[in-house]
Amino acid sequence: MKIALISDIHANIEALEAVLSDIKSRKVDEILCLGDIVGYGANPNECIELVKKSCSLVLLGNHDAAAVGLLSTQHFNIHAKIAIEWTTDNLKKWGHDYLATLPLKEAKFSHTFVHATPYEPNMWYYITSLEEAAFNFQFFETPFCFVGHTHIPIIIVLEQEKEVYVHPGESLDYGALANVRFLINEGSVGQPRDRNPKSCYGIIDTDAKTFTYHRVAYDVQKAQAKMRKIKMPEFLITRLEEGR
């Protein structure tokens, strides 16, 4: 079975359409979305509609939660706050109602899926170190846990339930590995932050026993022009072309 994992779309419809068309060419069985459909970009309703239509599991992200009033923006930076205010004002009622029903964490196909962290997913903690990753391995029992939230693609391995390290490279062949578990961030579709402006997503192939990242070019300038039109902060606009 081939499962595509997408996350952190952030209302960037140009990026989402490019990624979905790339996924289509790879004949996957299911597409799962790990949250943050909205916030930052100019097309929240269009992105919700397309995710709803394309994905068999959709999780709640912190920007989705904030846009529908389930989370205060007090800990958001000023740019994110402005983007959330615009999003809240421009969400259609059906979009608002849909986001408000999304789950925080799910187990499916014997994997765990969550936007932020398996530990207290409603606290929106970030995994930015091996220590934080090691801590989080205690809060899921499946071989794999997929997360989003940081917008940085990374594969973290726990070996023999004690050694934690980062797997090098853009693909993982796990068939030959024994007694390992994985915490994988599939990167961001709509606002990559690893200095590569191309959209990022992942595919796990449970027959071939591989996980691979895919990078997809999209019309960044078109997404930026729309953001300028609705007066999004310039920082949010330029970061798309820089991938940061």
Per rule CB under 5 A, is residue 8 in the interface with Zn ion?
Answer: yes
Nearest distance, CB of residue 177 and Zn ion, angstroms: 30
Nearest distance, CB of residue 180 and Zn ion, angstroms: 27
Q: Which residue has the tokens 């071939």?
A: 208
Span from 4-12, 76-84, 88-96, 196-204 in contact with Zn ion (CB under 5 A): 4-12
Per rule CB under 5 A, is residue 186 in the interface with Zn ion?
Answer: no
Work out the burial of residue 13: count CB atoms within 10 Å of its CB; fewer than 13 is exposed, 13-18 middle, 19 or more buried.
buried
CB 180 within 8 A of CB 155: no
Nearest distance, CB of residue 62 and Zn ion, angstroms: 7
Candidates 14, 17, 36, 194; binder of Zn ion (CB under 5 A) is 36
If the CB atoms of residues 36 and 194 are measured against Zn ion, the closer one turns out to be 36
- From residue 149, alpha-carbon distances to 90, 94, 106, 162 in Å are 23, 24, 16, 25
Nearest distance, CB of residue 186 and Zn ion, angstroms: 12
How far is residue 188's CA from residue 34's CA, in Å, rounded to a whole number?
Answer: 10
Nearest distance, CB of residue 230 and Zn ion, angstroms: 19
If the CB atoms of residues 96 and 149 are measured against Zn ion, the closer one turns out to be 149
If the CB atoms of residues 174 and 218 are measured against Zn ion, the closer one turns out to be 218
What value does the CA radius of gyration of the chain take, rounded to a whole number of Å? 17
If the CB atoms of residues 164 and 189 are measured against Zn ion, the closer one turns out to be 189
How far is residue 116's CA from residue 105's CA, in Å, rounded to a whole number?
Answer: 9
How far is residue 73's CA from residue 236's CA, in Å, rounded to a whole number?
Answer: 17
Q: Which residues bind Zn ion (CB under 5 A)?
A: 8, 36
